[in-house]
Amino acid sequence: MIYKPMKHQTISLKAMEKTDVVFDMSDPGSGKTFVQIMAFAKRRKRKLRPGGCAIVIAPKSLLRSAWEDDFNKFAPAITCSVAYAENREKAFAVDADVYITNIDAVVWLLKQKPAFFARFDTLIIDEVSAFKHHTSARSKALNKIKKYFQYRSAMSGTPNSNTICDIWNPVQILDNGKRLGTQFYGFRSVACSPEQVGPQPNMVKWSDKEGIEEVVYGLIADITIRHRFEDCIDIPATHSYTMMYHMSAKQKKAYLEMEKTQIMTLRSKASVTAINAAAVTTKLLQIASGAVYEHADKYHIVDPGRYELVLDLVEDRKHPLVFFLWKHQRDQLVALAEKRGLKFCVLDGNASDSERTAMVKHYQAGFYDVMFAHPKSAAHGLTLTKGSSTIWASPTYDLEHFNQGNKRQARAGQTDKTEIIVILAEGTIEEKVYQRLLEKDMKMSNLLSLFAA
């Protein structure tokens, strides 16, 4: 079967013919993978072996389910080899056109001799936000091997999910610093304003300057592709709203005591670090969600009421997707689903690739009443259009996970209106977390809207 590109994909393909480096910021579900596959397949036709091969770097969960499957579907003449940590050397020794590997493979790639890269000219980085921190080992490795690739493509529907500085390293991976400079701290000093948030000299918060999105847009517009999902895919609308969870008297008392104790502990410290503050926030979020942790694997349930609410919502809907953040949430949701006789699956870091594939297949076939998932494992790449309700058992700070997770059901092929429900414990830090998430989303939307104009 021959697949023809949609109008917006044709625009993207034409744009890629004009430049060797591309940053595709199109929304999740808009068909970015298809565009990269078609552009590479066209180039590959003109190349003779052994040159002109590609390396695709993507989250582990997408290696087969998104990339290998889509190459087989859209460009069956292109041969692929999938390299995981356990079979990496063997996978790269196979004669293929494309080598698909996970994000952490860049450290292994750095150890290879220059001759290893002679057969490659194309580098495709899916979910490039994994490389937003320029000081990480993976970013340092990628910056050292990028020189071997003439054609470089980066993909992310959530490019500046925290700050405009998230953009810097992905862009300089593409263009070697031509557009945003070669020094991160130089870029940050121009793009952001410092604010002293503690007594120590290093306790500084950097906030985006007013209008910086327009400046960055002007600098990188020539290599950027951006399509809004709603402009290219015609599906029913999505409605997003919050639902308040009212804590029991017991849980509210425990929360207030925890809040008082933790704040007193912070104030008693000679210096308050970001790590101290984050630890306090985590404890408050955990107890607001119904549990107190002794350590990572041991917790005590304060009140299961929130999860009764989640399961009530589940039973009123067809095949919802429920995101959880902590171990106790997963355990409580599973226990209550079993108690209510629901068919369910759990997609998290414990699921193997084959189990993951089977879960998605059975979910799409309507076998499960509900899928429980951790956003790290299910926020990217999956198509879960059998359901139309996404429920967040608790709010997350991670805008990338939030926006990507909310696109698992609102994708091409969806025939129903979709809804996103975020459950918040009234009068707790959860409300602040969600408000902060919305503020970050507004800043990212400001930048992305410029490219879609």
User: What count of other Cβ atoms lies within 10 Å of the Cβ of residue 11?
Assistant: 15
Residue 361 has pLDDT above 80, yes or no: yes
- Of 433 and 294, the structure prediction assigns the larger pLDDT to 433
Residue 273 has pLDDT above 70, yes or no: no
| pLDDT bracket for residue 205 (50, 70, 90) | confident
Residue 202 has pLDDT above 80, yes or no: no
Residue identified by tokens 């990269």 is 36
pLDDT of residue 272: 47
pLDDT digits (tens, 9 = 90+) for 282-294: 888 999 999 988 8
Mean pLDDT of all residues belonging to the chain: 89
Which is it for strands 204-208 and 192-196: parallel, antiparallel or unpaired?
Answer: antiparallel
- Joined together, the tokens standing for residue 78 give 């292109």
| pLDDT bracket for residue 343 (50, 70, 90) | very high
User: What is the helix, strand, coil percentage profile of the chain, to 5?
Assistant: 50, 20, 35
Residue 128 has pLDDT above 70, yes or no: yes
d(CA 169, CA 160) in angstroms, rounded, equals: 11
User: Measuring CA to CA, how many Å separate 313 from each of 25, 77, 366?
Assistant: 33, 46, 18
| pLDDT bracket for residue 262 (50, 70, 90) | confident
Residue 338 has pLDDT above 70, yes or no: yes
Which of 1-5, 57-61, 389-393 has the highest mean predicted lDDT (pLDDT)?
389-393
382 touches 361 (CB < 8 A): no
pLDDT digits (tens, 9 = 90+) for 135-178: 999 999 999 999 999 999 999 988 887 889 999 999 999 999 99
- Average pLDDT estimate for 4-18: 92
Q: How far is CA 318 from the centre of its chain?
A: 25
pLDDT of residue 17: 92
Residue 230 has pLDDT above 70, yes or no: yes
pLDDT of residue 268: 59
